[in-house]
A and B are shown apart, each in its own frame.
Chain A
Amino acid sequence: MGRPAVTQQCHVLPRAGSAPDDAEDAVALRADAWPVRAAVADGATESVYAGLWAQMLVDVLVDVGADPGDVGAAIREQQAEWGGAVQERAAEQPWYVQSKAAEGAFATGLVLSVREGGTWAAASIGDCALFHLHDDRADAWPTDDPDAYTNRPALVPSRGTDRIPVPETATGTWAPGDTFLLATDAVAAWLLRVGPRSVLDADESFEGAVEHARAGGALRNDDATLCILKMEDLPKDDTRSGHE
């Protein structure tokens, strides 16, 4: 079994006016073996330690892949981890951090698993998005309607006493030369409006494109996350990566 030939590039940008550490989106990748997996998550701003929960979510999603049963079981395990991690951190904090930590954190999340044989599978809770660019097409999942991003999404709770929504799933086939994009909600709505290729083919950096789109009102001022996986024609010795 050959090593995957993937060119990857992932960006996590905080909302304008915030410090880089304020970003509560998270991304994780596993591209050194088949199946290649990538996950994005968006921690809900209203909760505390949401960035931590988003990171714990993507870490476990790239481990387990897109089988909905596995995803549910892995989230339950991660909830137990989260409780311990946060209790310790919050114990020394003021009343409002303790009080809010007790309510738990929430995040949306999406995982993509690309198999060597030419098939892929994805699972999602909430409104992160997957784009599959192949031939002249750009297929969006779970929706191709940018206006759908105004609704309240389903959320993965960090607290074991809260119900975990059932993940939505999708499957498909791929061929060398195809590109997959994973995005959190604000970027997804923007890409649906302008077309994902216009962003990929632009001369400017993703960071520059985001800045311009925000200034022009085309992109909502929210954390902006995009993960690009290009399935190459030939196996390569190494992969290129960037993480901002």
Chain B
Amino acid sequence: MPYSAEISRQQPTAFLFLLDQSASMQDSFGGAEQKGDAAPSKARVLADTVNRLLQNLVLRCAKEEGVRDYFHVGVIGYGERVQRLVQPTDEYETGTGLVPISHLADRPRRMEQRVKEVADGDGGTTEQRVKTPIWFDPEAKNGTPMCQALDLAAQTVRGWIDEHPGSFPPVVLNVTDGEATDGEPLRYAQQLREFATDDGETLLFNVHLSESEATPVELPSSRAELPGNAEYAETLFQMSSRLPFSMRSAAEQEGYTVDLDTRGFVFNADPTALVTFLEIGTRPSNLR
């Protein structure tokens, strides 16, 4: 059965995040401005969300003796230029641009003190200061060179798959708020998804961040669920892989109704839908 490879230190999997850094990411999420909220920009929310997700991925692999390399991770930003936002040092250079999670854990750009609400054991909460790692900061300039980003992703996963042919295939999570400004992304997406391990083709999931107050379309199974006047939604839908079994289970646990055709795609996502989907998309299968 595809997408069932056990994930171990000998047989890790890979997560590659593609993050839109175009100028429109300076705006806040759809609806927030109209309401007069002092809402953070999409770029800020996205950077915070992905930094927190990377932190959670590290914690999933952390043991008292160190971080176990169940995952290799990459982050590519696309806006003013297409760039890797986390870089391996020479010591960890695998030639693929993906970084073992232990390396990521040990080298955040900086640690910030954040205040977190925790349970006090008596039914209430108390504030606790926690150290929070930051790997990259928000950026928002120029256009949306998504095709170039998908092309770099394809090169990245191809090199990684050569080294890990038996692994659960790489998962590429693309987060954008607009249309590609450098060509037709569907072709690049199809090319990317064709690279496969023995366990299945590369998975590409897409999250479109909201421009309006409309309700998000989360994990659609058919085109009929998309808004009628958005050709762009149709393209992203076609670009998106179907969810494999383990992620369908994760989605069901989050309360979604899924079937075999459910795509890893969210259209018009608000911050909550973004966080939930990234959680689902990074639940490949059991760690060993």
Q: Does A84 touch B at the CB level, under 8 Å?
A: no
User: What separation, in Å, do the CA atoms of A204 and B288 have in the docked complex?
Assistant: 26
Q: Does B58 touch A at the CB level, under 8 Å?
A: yes
CB atoms of A99 and B59 under 8 A apart: yes
Contacts of A221 in B (CB 8 A): 6, 288
CB atoms of A96 and B58 under 8 A apart: yes
User: What separation, in Å, do the CA atoms of A160 and B121 have in the docked complex?
Assistant: 8
User: What separation, in Å, do the CA atoms of A99 and B131 have in the docked complex?
Assistant: 8
Q: Does A15 touch B at the CB level, under 8 Å?
A: yes
Q: Does B133 touch A at the CB level, under 8 Å?
A: yes
Q: Which residue of B lies closest to A96 (CB)?
A: B62
Q: Mark B24-47, 1 if CB is under 8 A from A, else 0.
A: 000000000000000000000000
CB atoms of B64 and A49 under 8 A apart: yes
Contacts of B55 in A (CB 8 A): 99
Q: In whole Å, how far is B176's beta carbon from the nearest beta carbon of chain A? A: 30
Q: Does A78 touch B at the CB level, under 8 Å?
A: no
B side interface size, CB within 8 A: 23
Given A95-B111, A160-B121, residue A100 in contact with residue B10 (CB < 8 A): no
Q: Which residue of A lies closest to B10 (CB)?
A: A17
Q: Mark B42-71, 1 if CB is under 8 A from A, else 0.
A: 000000000000010011101110010000
Of the residues A89, A96, A161, contact of B59 by C-beta under 8 Å:
A96
User: What separation, in Å, do the CA atoms of A49 and B8 have in the docked complex?
Assistant: 19
User: What separation, in Å, do the CA atoms of A25 and B186 have in the docked complex?
Assistant: 49
User: What separation, in Å, do the CA atoms of A99 and B9 have in the docked complex?
Assistant: 22
Q: Does B91 touch A at the CB level, under 8 Å?
A: no
User: What separation, in Å, do the CA atoms of A160 and B63 have in the docked complex?
Assistant: 21
Contacts of A99 in B (CB 8 A): 55, 59, 62, 130-131
Q: Does A60 touch B at the CB level, under 8 Å?
A: no
Q: Does A237 touch B at the CB level, under 8 Å?
A: no
Which of B62, B120, B121 lies at the interface centre, i.e. has the most chain A CB atoms within 10 A of its CB? Answer: B62
Q: In whole Å, how far is A211's beta carbon from the nearest beta carbon of chain B? A: 16
Q: In whole Å, how far is B180's beta carbon from the nearest beta carbon of chain A? A: 36
CB atoms of A96 and B105 under 8 A apart: yes
Contacts of A161 in B (CB 8 A): 119-121
CB atoms of B121 and A17 under 8 A apart: no
Q: In whole Å, how far is A45's beta carbon from the nearest beta carbon of chain B? A: 7
User: What separation, in Å, do the CA atoms of A95 and B111 have in the docked complex?
Assistant: 9
Q: Which residue of B lies closest to A161 (CB)?
A: B121
Q: In whole Å, how far is A173's beta carbon from the nearest beta carbon of chain B? A: 40
User: What separation, in Å, do the CA atoms of A139 and B133 have in the docked complex?
Assistant: 51
Tell me which residues from 24 to 47 in chain A have a Cβ below 8 Å from any Cβ of chain B.
45-46
Given A98-B131, A99-B130, A99-B131, residue A48 in contact with residue B120 (CB < 8 A): no
Pairs A-B, 3 closest by C-beta atoms? A161-B121, A96-B62, A48-B64
Listed A/B pairs (12) with beta-carbon separation below 8 Å: A17-B288, A46-B60, A48-B62, A89-B64, A94-B106, A95-B131, A95-B133, A96-B59, A96-B67, A97-B64, A99-B55, A221-B6
